[in-house]
Structures are given as C-alpha cells and as structure tokens.
Structure 1
Amino acid sequence: MTLEKQLIQKTYYKMFINEQEDIHPIRVLGEAFQEEAKQDLPDLSSIRFAQGEVNFYHKDFETAIFKWENIINELEPWAKKNTADAYYELGLLSTAEDIYTAIDTDNSTLNTEVALQLFSLYIERGKVDAAVSTIKKTIVANPDYPNVTEIARTFFEEQLDWDNAVELAVTEAKRTDSLEWFDILNTYIQKGVTKSHAPSYFSQVLILLFSLDKKKFEQLISSLWDSYKNEESYFTWLSEINHLLLNLDINRDENWTELSRLHKETYFELIEGRYFIKVLQDFIPDLLTNWLRLADHANVVLSSAAVLSWNELFPASISTSIVSDAEKMISLTETDMDELDECLSLFDSIMSWAGVHDMGENNRIKWLVDQLVDFETQHLFITGLSGTGKSTFVNSVLGEDLQDSPTSSMVMFTHAPSLEITEITDREITSLPDFSDFQKRMDRRRNALESVIEFKLPSAFLQESRVALIDTPGLKGALHYDRYEVLKNLQVADSVLFVLDANAPFTEKEQAGIKQMQELAPDIPVHFLLSKMDTIVGEQEAIRIFDETRSMIHSYLPDARVFAFSSQYDNGQQLQELTEFIRSIRNTRNIEDKRLAKLLYFIRTTIASLLQKRIDVENQLVESVRWNEEMLMKLNGAVNQLKDTEVQKTKTITKSYRAIKETIETDISENVSKMLQECSSLIKEDSNFSKIHLELNDEMNRRIQDYLEEKVMPKFYSSLQDWIEHCKEEFEQGQEFLNKMVEGFNHMYGEERIKLECDFKVLDDWLRDTDRMTSGFQLENINILLRRTPSQFLLKSAGKLFGAISQNKALLYNKYKSFVENEDYSDAIAAVNKQFFQPFELFEKSLERDITYFFRSSLTVLYRSVEEARSGIQTNQEMLNNMNTNPEMFRDPLTLFEVRLRQFEWMTVAGKGMQTIY
C-alpha cells in the first residue's frame, strides 16, 4: 500500500505495528514513543500522527486532535486535514471548514481529499452553491481522481442541476473518449434536459463520436433532433447539424437508416406550407445535400427527387455535383412507391391548406379528382357544336327525355340503383330533390359553367357499358375563350365523343374546336358520332356521307373511330351497336398511369387557380376599400344633410310657433287694453268712491277671464292645430327626403340594408300637450287698479277722503272716469300674458329637443353605417397591407406544393433511365 493511500485511509499507524498485530496499537505506539523520546534528537511527530489515527478510529477525537496539532514534519498538512476530519465528526462543522480552507499544499491528492471533505461538509450545511463550486474545481484540478466525476454526476442529478450534469458529461466524453459518457449524455438528451443548450454546444462531441462509434453517433443525433424539434432553436439546430454533416466523410453504404428517416420527415414537415421560403432557403439545400449523401436504399429515389425538384424551382441553390448524383441515381434506381396514394396525399394537403386559409371549399375540383380514382368506370366526354343533336343522342341512349334543351352546365350521367341528382360548385354541394329542379338548372345561363351536375339514375346501358356520359354545353363561336370554358374539364375524360351533324359534318369550326382540345389534352383520344343520319335521303347517300366524313376525319385523326347514329333507328339494335362501339374505344392499357397524369394536371391547375385566387382576393380588397371610402364619403354627406335638415326644420317649426304666440299676444294686448278702458262705463256719480277701485279691479279681472277663456283660448287652440298640421307636412317632407336617401344607399349596397324611419309619435305628443293646455284657463287676480302708482294712490285717497261729500262726487266721477279711460295698462297686460302663456313655456322650450328626437333614430342608423364603412376600410386595408407586406404568406406554400409536385413527377420516372422531365 502506498504512503498516500495510507494517509487517505488513516492507516499510517500500521507502519509501526509490523509483527505486533496481537498487541493493541495504542500500547505499541506508546512504547515506540517512549523509545524515541530517549534519543538525543527524538522525532516524535510521526508517532504522534499514528497515535492520532488510532484515537480517531476509537472515536477519541479530542485526543486525536491533540496529537495532530503537534505535528511539525512533512506530515503536518495531512495532520491538519485529519484534525478537520475530527472536528467534522464532532459536529463542529464551522471549525472543520476553517481548517480545511486554511490547508496550503502542493500535493494534488491531499488537495482533492480536502475538497471532497469540504464538498460533503457544504452539502450537510446546505451550502449548495459552495458545494457545486468545490466539486467543479476539483474535477478541473484532478479529474482522474477515483470516483470524483461519479460523485459529481450523482450530486448534480440529485439536485436536478441538469446544466452542470450535461456540462460534466460533455466535458468527460471529450476528455476520456469513453462511450459510457456519451451514453450518459444521450440519456440526458432523451430526458429533455439539454434543450437550453445551444445546438453548437454539442458539435465537438458529435464529431468525436463519429470517429469512435458511428451507430452511437447516429443515435445521439436522433435524440438531439427530437429534443430540438418543437423548440425555438430548431432551425439553429438544423443549420448546425447540416453544416456538421457536410464536413464529415459520410458513406451511404454504412446504412444511415435513422438519419435518413430524420432528413425525410424534416424535409416534408418544412415544405408543408407553414414556413416562408426565405427561411427555408437558408438550410434546405444543405439538408437535401446531406440526405442524398446518407439516404438508405428505401429513400434514395425520394431524396434524389427532392434534390431535383428543389433545384428546378430554386436553381443553383444546390451544388451541381449533388444535382448530377441525384439525376444519375434516379435514372438507375427503381421505386415501389404507391404513386396514386402519394399523389392523393399531396392533393389532400393542398385542399387542407386552402381550407385553413379561407380559399373556399373547392368542392368541384374535389369531385373531379374523385372521378379519376374510379377505375371501374370509363368517362366519355360528349361535346360538339351547338345544334348537332348532342342532347337528342343523350336522351336516346338513356331512354328518357332528360334534356329538352341544350345543357348549360357539365352533366355526368352514371348508373345507380335510384335517382339521385347533385349539383357541385366550388362553394357548396346541393341535392336536387326533383327532376324539375334539374330542369331549372339547365334553363339558367348565369354562372352555369361554374357547376357540375352529377345525375345518377338506373340505366342498363350505362351499367352494361361501365361508362359515364359527360355531357357539356355546345361549342359555339370562334372565340378561343368561349370554347375553353366548356372544355376546361376535359382532363376528367378517358376519351372524347365529338358529335357531328350529318348534314354539315367536320366543318372548320369543328376542326378548330378539336385543335383546341388537342392543345388542352393531347393524350385523350377523340372519336366521332355522326348524328341526324335519318335526315339524309336515301341509303346510298347516307353511306356516301358517312364514308366521306370518316375519310376526312382519318386524314386529320388517323386513329379516330366514327359511329353513325339516328334517333329513328331501331333503339335496341342501335344501343347494342353503341355498346360495342364504346367497348372498342375503351382503352384499359395503362389506365392508372393515364389517370395519374390527369390527377397531376388537376393538382397543377389547382395550384395555379389558388395563386389566381390570391390575386382575386387582393383585387377584391382593393375594390372593397375603394367602395367603402366612397360609401363613407356619401354617408358622412348624408349625416350632414340630415343635421342640416334637422336645423332647418327646427327653425321653421319654432318660428311658426312663435308667430302664433306673438299674434295671440298682440290680440291680448289690444283687446285687454280696450276692455279695461271700457270699464269706465261702470263708474256712476253716485258710486261709492271709497270702494270703487276694488269693484273695478274685480270686474276687470272677470272680464279678462271671460275674454281669455271664450275668445283667446279657442283661437289659440285652432291656431295650434293648424300649426301641428303644418309640422306634420314638414316632418313628412323630411321623411320623404330620407326615403330617397335610403333608396340610393340600398341601391349601392345591393340589398335592403338601411332603413331610416322618423318618430312621428312626436306629433301625437304635441297634440296631447296642446289639447291639455288649451282645455281651460283660470286667471289669478291681477292687481290692475290697486297698484301703488302716484296717480292711483292720489285717486284712491281722494275717493276715501271726499267721497262722502256730495258736492265733490261730480269731480271725483269725472276724475275716475278719465283715469280709467286713459290709464296705462301695459303692466297688467304683461301680467295677463305671463299667466296665459306660462303653461306653454316648457312646451316651447322642448320643441328643439322633440325635433331632434324625431330625427334621432335615423341619425343613429347613419352613424352606425358610417362606423361600418370606416371599420370595413380599416379591416380590408389591414388585410391588404398584410398581403402586400408579406406576399410570401400566400405565395410560398403554393410554391412548396409545386416543389412536392415536381418531386412526385421525378419519382414517376425513377429507374427508367430518363435524365430530365418537364
């Protein structure tokens, strides 16, 4: 046993025991101490050190401490460490810590032992940070010390300190090249505790592991790939791992199955349409390059097709050597890919994306695709110029008068146990319960070509022939676009039956239509039906026309077949011959490949139509913003007009009311003044002049009361009725003005959206109020002659003083009479007017409010419409800005679908020695 090991284990004392194992160590060491003490220069430190160990083992810690404190030789640092151990055992942790930290030595073993003791002490004291710092320093200083890294790993795991645990595993893996540490790291990754580390943190470890064990290298990459998949650092990881793999010497023969799978899954996830191309372009080329370099046998064709399709749409993004390798491999390697399934999967992805992004239900294209995968039924596309007898042919074949006029939509007739008619448009699928509904659809013209009608009916002919007849609107006009609208669904057909009129067969217009069909679908065979043969006079003439027509057709289309048809021929015989004809033109050879090609066509046209829809949406938003801006301007104008109308009506109505009031006031002023003056006739020479003023005052009030109630109030009532009738006319004019406004706005909206109705209940309220206020009037006595004016005061005083003297009565009589006739009654009249009009004051003040209330509902509707227009502008402008700011949000997914389409097309020629495909 080495000296350091003895010092670590505190067995240094055994050096003094030798062969005296049967004697207690304390006695042996005591005797040795006594012997050494007798020497001239005794060296007692070693014996004391040994004695301290024995005392320590016997838990006599205080004696051990005493012994170790007196060591002065080379054992002194170990003695200090042992002293700290003793204090540790005594539970004096603070003292032990002070001694441990004070030890200064160059001995790495001693330093490590001290550090491990401190580490344990810190854990016991709950000083976790200090424990972490101590164990990390220990690993740096002496990583090969027995169990030190295992102690650290266990501690970090117990503390759930995954950052330090991962750091330890990475450091030790790189330092030791031990596969065990790589396995530990892989365990951490699978636990999900490495996600906070940047992907580049593991690059050196991966490079090292590649040289040590390629299978574990693949496993570690797989674990890291999965751990970063749903993290923000995922793209960083992809960039990092791609760069790393590019710089490694990867050999496809080493069968990188897992890495090939990861590249495949990642590539297809990235091109699903969730990410912008400008983001993908940063690492897709490297991803595809690496995939091609390491693809296992099952993915060689797929990776090659992926490289070629990406390079086609993004030229020069992948190195020419990789593209050449891809072309070479795809030309030489066959694949057992389920082409139809893959193609349908791509189509479903496009439809799902379109649905999520509000691009419509696309029911019509879905229906067309469903027809393509029905391999049991031959689709015969029936077309021809208008008036050639196409509808008559269909009716004859199906045995019913299904079409009494040329069709306006594409109709597919198929066999079914019972009648079932369905209309399919992009937006909806509608069941047509009655044959009459079908006829109505046939009679329409607007947007007819935007729908397809599936007409299922019991038909022995269709069942026996296993054919579906696709009837289309007749071709008309020389315009290329008009014919295209009819022929745009041509790809759903397996063959075309072009109907000719025997009276004028194979005209230039028909040849132009056939040429356009060949441009749209060059691989679809075209055959001909010569109709109206019964209109040809003479059998020889009919044969001549048939032969000449067939000859002309063959010079144009050598493989085309011609069938002569007449609604007057024996129906049973003719149907049998027609069945044989249809069987003869049925081409079952490579039908799946042909249908697949058609499916690819529809996928490509769907992508193009979705791109066009994006343009259409943008144009619609632009138009919507413009329209809403125009509406907002008009609505604001309408609001101002309505406010002006309200102001004008308020002025007119209040002015007319005040005019009535002023007229009544004038009448009262004139008549009351005259009435009061006429009261002078009540004064007699024998009147009691001491009380005459009281009698006159009472009589004047009575006369005023009678006048107001009998004359003024009826007149006022009549005037108010006329005024309310006038107001009604004013209000009706206002309503008529609003009705014209509503008519204009609703015409612009294209629907009955706005309704502006005024509240005519205001008139009822006015009628009720005026009737109530004019139903009666009670005048409170007015002080007319009892006022304290100088003249009245003198006259009343004179009457009291001199009224009893008979010779003075004539004088008083004249004075009183003159006073009553010439008195200024303006104050009294004012008091009368005030009392009379007092009930009407509140009514007058509320007129403006009532008129406002009359128009309030209409104004609210206009304000709401203004807000709707403003909101429409804001919403559509934001959408438009978003589309213009981020056009890639829409364009990029469709571009990626096109990448997948080209990838699929490349795979269809795998192993056929073809170098290019377009």
Structure 2
Amino acid sequence: MTLENQLIKKTFYETFMEADEKNPVRVLGEAFLAGHKDETADISAIRFAQGEVYFHNKDYEAAIFKWENVHNDLEPWAKKNIADCYYELGQLSTAEEIYKSIDTESRVLQSEVALQLFSLYIDQGRLEKADQVIKKAVSFNPDYPNVTDIARAFFEKHKDWKSAIELAVNEAIRTESHHWFDILKTYAEQGFTKIFEPHDFSKCLVVLYRMDQTRFEQMVHALWNGYKNEPSYFSWLREFNHLFFNLDASREQSWKELSALYQEAYFELIDGTYLMKELEEIIPNLLTNWIKIADYSHALFASAAVLAWSEKFPSSIRPEVVHDAENLIFHSRNETDGLEYSLTLFDSIVKWAEAQGVDPGHRFRWIIRELVDFQTHHLFVAGTSGNGKSAFINSVLGENILTAPTSSVIVFKGDDETEIRKISDEQLTTFSSFHEFQEAVDRRLNKSFDNAIIEFSLPSSILQENRLVLIDTPGFSGRNRMEGEALKYLHFADSLLFVLDANDPFTEQEQEVLMQIRKYAPNLPIHFLLNKIDEIYDEQEAARIVDDTRSRVRAFLPRAQVFAYSSHLRNRKQQNDLAQFLKNLNRPIAEDDRIEKILIFIRKLITHLLDKRTEMENSLAESIKWNEEMVTKLSGAINQLSDLKKEKTRIITRTFHKVLEEIKADLSENIPRILRESSDIIQEDSDFRKIHLELNDEMNRRVHAYVNDKILPKAYRSLQEWIVTANDELNHCQSFLDEISDGFNAMYGEERLKLNGDFKVLDDWCRDADRMTSVVQMEKVNIVLRRTPYQILLKSAGMLFGAFQQNNEMLYNKYKQFVENQDYLDVTESIMNKLLLQFELFAKSLERDISLFFRNSFDILNQTVEETKKEINEKEEELEKMRANPQKFRDPLTLFEIKLRQYEWITISAKGVFQV
C-alpha cells in the first residue's frame, strides 16, 4: 500500500506497528515517549498517527489536538483530517473553511479535499457548489479513482443532462473507452443529446470511427434520430455529412444501418415539406455519402437518387459520383415494387395539390385507375382523315356511333349497360342522351380540342371477350394542333392500330404521321388495318395490294401486322378473322410497361399542376380587376339611384304641395264669403240678446258643411290624381331598378341582384288620403264671440237693448253691418291650420316615405359593394402570397419531379437498358 493510500484511509499509523502487535495506542504512546526523550526523533509523524487512531475510535477532539501539532510534511494532510473531524462532528461550516484553506501541491490531496467538499455541499443542499467542485475535481484530475463515476451519478440524479453528456464526451475522447461511448449512446437514445449543437460530437465520432466502426454506426444512428424533427436537424446533416465525407468509408464495409438512415432521410427531405434553398446544400453531400456506403438493399435507390438529382442540378454532384451511380444502378438488385412506389407517388402529389387548394382533376385519377387494370388491353385506333377509321370502329361496335369527325378522345369499353361519361379535369358528367354525346364530340361544332375523355361503355361482345378498349381520337394529318394534343394519349395505349385506305395505302403523309407517333411513343407496338378492301373488285389486285402494303409496312416497322378489312361487309368469316386479329394484338401486359406509362402521366400531372398554378394566378388577377370594375359600376349605379331619388322626391312632393295650395286657396277664398253670407240669419225681429250665439253656431255649421261637402271631396279627387302620378313615378323608378338588376345579373352570370322598390308606401299614401279626406268633425270656432272691443260693445248692446222693440232696427243694422264687413282673415287662418294640419304633416313625411321606397335597393347595392371590396381584399392577399412565395408551390413539385425521375431510373434499370 502506498503512502498516499494510507493517508487517504487514515492507516498511516500501521507503519509503526509490528506484525504481532495488537494495541496501536500503547505502541504509539511508547514511541511518542521515546521520541520525546530523543530530540532528533520526528514527533509530528507519531502525533499524526495517534490522531488517526483517535479518529477511528471517534475521539475527534483528541484527534484534532494531535493533528494541530503536526508540523512536518504531513501538515496539509493533518489539516484535511482536522476538517474531516469537524465534518463528523457536524460542524460543517468549520470543516468547509479548513478544507478551503489547505494549500498543497499534492494532486491526490487536492482530489480528496474536492470530494470531501462535494459531499459536504450535498449534505448542506448546496447543489450549485457541489456541481462546481465536482466539475473542478474532474477537470483537474479525471484519473482519480471514481471521480468521474461520482460526477456522472450526481449529474444523472439531478437530471443535469448537459453536464452528464459533456462528461461522457470528454471521457470518451480522453480514455477511448467503449464504456463511455456506450454511456453517450444511451444518452442519445433517450433524446438528451439534442440540446447540443451537432458539431459538439464531431471529434468524439472521429475517435469512435477509428476505434470501432460498429459502435460508430450505432452512435450515429442514436444521434441522428435524436436530432430528427428538431430545429438543429439540418445542422446535424451538414455537420455529419462533412465529417463522414472525410472518412475512408466505402461499400466494402458493412454499413446497412447507416445506409438505411440515409435512405429514410433522403425520402423525408424530398417529400415536399422543405424548400429547395434549404435542400440545395444538404442533398448533394447526403447523396454523395449515401452512395459511398450503400449496401445491396439500398444501392438501387441511392444510385437512382444521385442520377435524378444530378440531372435536375447538373453541377451539384461531382462527376465521379454520378459515374459511380451509373455503374451501380445496373448492377443493383431490383426488388422494389415499382407499381406501389408509382401509385404512392401519384397519391402523395394529389394529396399535396389538394392541400394547396389546387384540384388535380378527375382526368388523371381516371387514367391512373385504368392503367392499373392489367387485364384490359388499350388499343389506340389512328389514321389520317378519310381512311374510314370511324366506319371501322362502328363496325367493331356493331352500332353507328361515330357519325362525324370527333374533336375528343373517346374510349369505348365493353359493359353490360350503356353509359356515356365525360371525364374532364373539373368534373364528371354523364350524358343523358346519345344526341347530347354527338353534339359534345362533333368536330364541326367544336373547333378546338377538348382535353376531356369521353368514356363510352356499351354491350359489345368483341370488346368484352377480348378484354379490349378502343381509343378513338381526331384524325391525323400532322399539321393540326388538335391532333398534337391527341398524341398525348398515345401513352395510355398498349398498342396502336393504324387504319389505311386500300385505294392508296401507306402514303408519304401517313409515313410522316407514323414517324411523329414513333417519336412520341417509341416503344408502342404499331399494327395496320387495310380498310375499304371491298372497293378493290379484282381479287388478285386486292391480294397484290395487301402483299405490297405488308412489304412496305414491314420495311418501316418489321414486327407490324397488316389486316385487310371492309367496314361495310359483315360476314361471319371477316368478323371471326377480325376477332382473331384483335386477340393476337392483346398480348400479355408487362407490369414494367404500365409502370412506365403511369410515370409518364405523373409527369404530365406535375406539368398540369404548374400550369394550373399559373391559371390560378391569372384568374385571381382577372377576378380582382373585374371586381374593381364592378365596384365602379355599382358605385355609379348608387349615384344614379341617388339622383333618381332626389328627382322623384322633388316631383312627388311638388305635385302634392300644388294640391295643398289649391285647397288652401279654396279655403281662403270661400270661408270669409260663407261667414259674411251668414248675415242673412239676422232679422229685425231677432233676439239680439242671443243673436251672437246663434250667429256663431250658424257660421260654424256652414263652414263645417262647406268643408265636408265641397273641400274634402275635391281634395279626395286631387289626392287620387296625385297618387296616380306618384304611382307612375314609382313605377318608372322600378323600371330603372329592374334595368339595373338585369344589367348586373348579366355581368355576374347569375341572379345575384333583385332590386325592388317598396310599394307599400303607395298603399300607405292611399290609406292616408282616405283618412285625410273623410268627413271631419271640426271643433266649434269662436267667430263672433271673440273679445275684440267692437264685438264686446256690440254684444253688450244686444244684451242691453235687445229687450226693447224700438232698438231692434238699430241693432239689426249694426249686426248686419258688422258681419258683412269683417275680413275674417284670422278666423280663416285658424280653421285652415286645424283642417290642414294632417296634410302638412303628410307632406313632411313624403321625403322619408320615398327614401323607404329606395331603402332596400340602396342596402342591396351597398352590401354588394362591401362584399365585392372584401372579395377584392381577400383575393389580393391570396395573390400576394402566391407571388411573394412562388417557391412554396414550385419547389415541392420540383422534388416530386426528382422523385419521379428516380423511379424512372429504377424502371430503366429493371429493363437493363441505359437511357438518360
């Protein structure tokens, strides 16, 4: 046992013991006594040993006393032991001060002091101090026994994964011990390493690669999965690919797990989630490393991925890597399910497009569904115009279906029931009649090519028995755009039957068309039908024409078959021969051929979506412009309606005021007259004491009779005439509203606006007119009982002198004169005000009533303006987003295109034919 171990365990006293000695107290006491007598002896060493004995026997005070008197080289250890005593006594603050005061160059003592402080801080609950002191102990002397294990246990207990991982990384690099690498891998598997930047593990990985490649692969797998779905994932990919690129890894070693990681990561990166600017610095290095170590199960995908990416971005991957991929792809085992991969790609594109608000259309779904049916042979029937292609198809179907040149692609399928459907990008439409079908496909009625497919299902034994589908398109001449569009459907066919005219077969024009077809679909089998053979009356000449045509055709297409046919002859032999000919064409369908066709239409779908996006942008821009114009037009209509309302208000109110003025004039003229004429009731023999009362009553009666008998009937007639006028004006307004509605609805293409005036106001006016011109009960007016001086005097005179007969003549003359000479202006004004009050109130309400007539129309127009402005804002925001970030739409399609090209390379490798 070394001295340091004795000092650590406090067994230094054993150096004074003999083998057979049992009592260290007696031995050390005798030694101390002897040493005290011998002045040259090292008394401090004996005291140090005595302190140890006292310590082990828990006599801490005696131990402290002994160690305080140690003054030799053991003094630092003595101080440490004194601190241990105080620790045991529970005097932790004193112990801490003594530990921290120890000054020594001994690394062992420093480590022991650090560990003691660590324990002390834990006992005190001072975890931050404990963390500091244990980290210092590790950094100062990591080789000290158990110090790293103690540190790891402390970090793990308190879930300080950052410190635990740092410890594991440093110790793994320092010791190159599998133990620490395995600990770090465990942390990574638990997901704790993702809190670090990826470059923090680079040196560790390099060391591990040099030590143990199997553990290296396992470590990479754990770290990789830890960073996946984290913000630092791309940093990990960049850092690791840079690191791995500089290592000497190759396919000669086994990298199955890492190769699988690369494949998984690659497909996740190109699934359409990320933009190209995020991937352009990641993918090339990833592919370079992947193909460097790809095992047999991943080599095909790795090489296809490299070739597909390098085609899209030629300078991104080094030429030697591309060359390696070209060699590897044709020597890789192809165990992939190409059909499943292709359909999965199609579905992922469709789902992505739908999520972007872009409808991929029914047409592509229909085509892919048909191509998956490996039991049905698609026969494309082609020919130049006038060669009897339609007549041949009609004879095969047994019905006169094609009566005119077609403008569409028509697919004839055998089925139990007849059904005709139009499959366009936008919708599926079922035709309700054969006539409707003919109108839809007649080239004379439809000058442009309809990109939709007409699916014509009908009972047909020859189609059903031979599992055959006939595809008809516009006739070819090689110059018409419609025919060029129809060429796109060549990839839907399994073979092509080209119809020739027996009177002039295989012309230069037909050869040019066939060259165009071969260029567009080089692998499509082509056969020929020599039609109108019945028009060659000489059988020998007919046979010669058939042989000559067959020779010329086979010089052009060596494997082509030629079948002589008459669309007008329907004998059993010809029908049997035709059935056998079609049966021979229906060769077994190779899955690779259909996969290739599916991939072609997936590429067309990608192009279609790009075009659709452009259409959407243009449509939004046009919609915004159109809506802005509509806002202008609607605002103009609102202004016109406002002007109309003002004009009609002025006309209707002016007409009513004219009626009112006429009534006022009549009353002003006739009431004073009636009142003056009331003097005829005054007689010389009248009772002048009561004459004023009788006169007032009579005047009121006559005015009331005049109003009810003359004024109100005349007012009623005038108001009815006014209502007729107002009705005409309002009807004119409604005509204007109808005109506005019709104009806007024509522009909208739907019945969006319905502007109706509120004619209820006219009913209200009629009711009010009846009410105002009905018999009125007028309050009695004080006409001659008014308190003017003259009236008072006259009344008093009547009361005073009326009892005397001789005064009657005088009173008669005075009263008569008084009644006939009054102007009655104030009385007339009073009567008129009371009588015409409701007319005045009605006049004031006219403007409000006319506004009510127009209110609904104004509300509709203003609401339409607000809705249109809202629609403009929404579409402007949508268009701005589309234009501000076009890569968000285009980049995923680029990645789908790369994935598609990768599948095409896999299909090429399966055929063993090198193509680029």
Does the 8 Å contact 1:381/1:469 carry over to 2? yes
Q: C-alpha displacement at 1:188, in angstroms?
A: 1.0
Does the 8 Å contact 2:449/2:485 carry over to 1? no
Q: Any idea what SS the aligned residue of 1:413 has?
A: strand
Does the 8 Å contact 2:256/2:295 carry over to 1? yes
1:216 maps to what in 2?
215
- Is 2:618 the partner of 1:637? no
Distance 2:772 2:16 in 1: 135
1:366 maps to what in 2?
365
1:520 maps to what in 2?
520
Distance 2:187 2:251 in 1: 29
Alignment deviations for residues 91-134 of structure 1 (CA, whole Å, 9 cap, x no partner): 44444444444444444333333332332233333322222222
1:2 maps to what in 2?
2
Seen in structure 2, the aligned counterparts of structure 1 residues 376 and 107 have a Cα distance that, compared at 3 Å, is: same
Distance 2:171 2:635 in 1: 77
1:764 maps to what in 2?
763
Q: C-alpha displacement at 1:64, in angstroms?
A: 4.5
Q: Any idea what SS the aligned residue of 1:530 has?
A: strand
Deviates more, 1:251-260 or 1:518-527: 518-527
- Is 2:140 the partner of 1:141? yes
Alignment deviations for residues 811-864 of structure 1 (CA, whole Å, 9 cap, x no partner): 555444444334343333333233223345554443333322222222222223
TM-score, with length taken from structure 2: 0.90
2:319 maps to what in 1?
320
Q: Any idea what SS the aligned residue of 2:252 has?
A: helix
Q: C-alpha displacement at 1:670, in angstroms?
A: 2.3
Alignment deviations for residues 212-252 of structure 1 (CA, whole Å, 9 cap, x no partner): 22222222222121111101111122111122222223233
Alignment deviations for residues 304-359 of structure 1 (CA, whole Å, 9 cap, x no partner): 33223222221222223323333344466564544444444444443333333333
- Is 2:497 the partner of 1:497? yes
Seen in structure 2, the aligned counterparts of structure 1 residues 567 and 320 have a Cα distance that, compared at 3 Å, is: closer
Distance 1:680 1:746 in 2: 71
- Is 2:126 the partner of 1:127? yes
Seen in structure 2, the aligned counterparts of structure 1 residues 686 and 377 have a Cα distance that, compared at 3 Å, is: closer
Alignment deviations for residues 415-469 of structure 1 (CA, whole Å, 9 cap, x no partner): 4566666543333445679878867766795588433344455544335544332
Q: C-alpha displacement at 1:50, in angstroms?
A: 4.4
2:915 maps to what in 1?
917
Q: How large is the Cα RMSD of the aligned pairs?
A: 3.6
Q: How does 1:623-702 map to 2 (within 5 A)?
A: 623-685=622-684, 692-702=691-701
Distance 1:510 1:756 in 2: 63
Does the 8 Å contact 2:394/2:400 carry over to 1? yes
2:726 maps to what in 1?
727
1:262 maps to what in 2?
261
Distance 2:40 2:774 in 1: 145
Q: Which amino acid aligns with 2:349?
A: I
Q: C-alpha displacement at 1:385, in angstroms?
A: 4.3
Distance 1:405 1:64 in 2: 122
Q: C-alpha displacement at 1:513, in angstroms?
A: 4.2
Q: C-alpha displacement at 1:881, in angstroms?
A: 2.1
2:473 maps to what in 1?
472
Q: C-alpha displacement at 1:737, in angstroms?
A: 0.8
TM-score, with length taken from structure 1: 0.89
Q: How does 1:238-277 map to 2 (within 5 A)?
A: 238-277=237-276
Q: C-alpha displacement at 1:481, in angstroms?
A: 0.3
Q: How does 1:268-417 map to 2 (within 5 A)?
A: 268-330=267-329, 335-386=334-385, 388-401=387-400, 409-415=408-414
2:87 maps to what in 1?
88
Seen in structure 2, the aligned counterparts of structure 1 residues 553 and 77 have a Cα distance that, compared at 3 Å, is: closer
Deviates more, 1:11-20 or 1:771-780: 11-20
1:880 maps to what in 2?
879
- Is 2:609 the partner of 1:610? yes
Seen in structure 2, the aligned counterparts of structure 1 residues 318 and 167 have a Cα distance that, compared at 3 Å, is: same
Q: Which amino acid aligns with 2:171?
A: E
Does the 8 Å contact 1:496/1:525 carry over to 2? yes
2:830 maps to what in 1?
831
Deviates more, 1:243-252 or 1:382-391: 382-391
Alignment deviations for residues 514-541 of structure 1 (CA, whole Å, 9 cap, x no partner): 4543343343343332334445555456
Deviates more, 1:418-427 or 1:612-621: 418-427
1:234 maps to what in 2?
233
Alignment deviations for residues 490-527 of structure 1 (CA, whole Å, 9 cap, x no partner): 22223322234445655666555445433433433433
Q: How does 1:571-586 map to 2 (within 5 A)?
A: 571-585=571-585
1:451 maps to what in 2?
452
Deviates more, 1:689-698 or 1:492-501: 689-698
Q: Any idea what SS the aligned residue of 2:410 has?
A: strand
Q: Which amino acid aligns with 1:158?
A: K
Q: C-alpha displacement at 1:33, in angstroms?
A: 5.4
Aligned residues: 914
Q: C-alpha displacement at 1:192, in angstroms?
A: 1.0
Does the 8 Å contact 1:660/1:719 carry over to 2? yes
Q: Any idea what SS the aligned residue of 2:271 has?
A: coil
Q: C-alpha displacement at 1:573, in angstroms?
A: 0.9
Q: How does 1:739-888 map to 2 (within 5 A)?
A: 739-792=738-791, 795-796=794-795, 813-840=812-839, 842-888=841-887
Distance 2:689 2:509 in 1: 126
Q: Which amino acid aligns with 2:292?
A: R
Distance 1:390 1:700 in 2: 108
Does the 8 Å contact 1:408/1:449 carry over to 2? yes
Distance 1:71 1:841 in 2: 126
Q: Any idea what SS the aligned residue of 1:893 has?
A: helix
Q: Any idea what SS the aligned residue of 1:382 has?
A: strand
Alignment deviations for residues 800-821 of structure 1 (CA, whole Å, 9 cap, x no partner): 6666677766555544444433
Seen in structure 2, the aligned counterparts of structure 1 residues 519 and 61 have a Cα distance that, compared at 3 Å, is: same
Does the 8 Å contact 1:533/1:542 carry over to 2? yes
Distance 1:93 1:812 in 2: 139
Q: Any idea what SS the aligned residue of 1:298 has?
A: coil
Alignment deviations for residues 673-727 of structure 1 (CA, whole Å, 9 cap, x no partner): 2223333334445556565544444443333333333333333333333333322
Alignment deviations for residues 577-619 of structure 1 (CA, whole Å, 9 cap, x no partner): 113333555666x955544443443333333232222222222
Distance 1:185 1:80 in 2: 39
Q: Any idea what SS the aligned residue of 1:489 has?
A: helix
Q: Which amino acid aligns with 1:917?
A: Q
**Higher relative contact order at CA 8 Å, sep ≥6: structure 1 or structure 2?**
1
Seen in structure 2, the aligned counterparts of structure 1 residues 175 and 540 have a Cα distance that, compared at 3 Å, is: closer
Does the 8 Å contact 1:331/1:912 carry over to 2? no
Gap regions ≥5 residues in structure 2: none
Distance 1:783 1:76 in 2: 138
Distance 1:460 1:606 in 2: 34
1:462 maps to what in 2?
463
Q: C-alpha displacement at 1:574, in angstroms?
A: 0.9
Seen in structure 2, the aligned counterparts of structure 1 residues 103 and 566 have a Cα distance that, compared at 3 Å, is: same
Gap regions ≥5 residues in structure 1: none
Alignment deviations for residues 866-891 of structure 1 (CA, whole Å, 9 cap, x no partner): 22322332222222222222222222
Does the 8 Å contact 2:415/2:459 carry over to 1? yes
Does the 8 Å contact 2:468/2:586 carry over to 1? no
- Is 2:150 the partner of 1:159? no
Seen in structure 2, the aligned counterparts of structure 1 residues 696 and 205 have a Cα distance that, compared at 3 Å, is: farther
Q: Which amino acid aligns with 1:469?
A: L
Distance 1:118 1:803 in 2: 141
**What's the % identity of the aligned pairs?**
53
Seen in structure 2, the aligned counterparts of structure 1 residues 74 and 539 have a Cα distance that, compared at 3 Å, is: closer
Seen in structure 2, the aligned counterparts of structure 1 residues 112 and 557 have a Cα distance that, compared at 3 Å, is: closer
Seen in structure 2, the aligned counterparts of structure 1 residues 473 and 71 have a Cα distance that, compared at 3 Å, is: same
- Is 2:735 the partner of 1:736? yes
Distance 2:832 2:34 in 1: 146
Distance 1:842 1:379 in 2: 86
Q: Which amino acid aligns with 2:135?
A: K
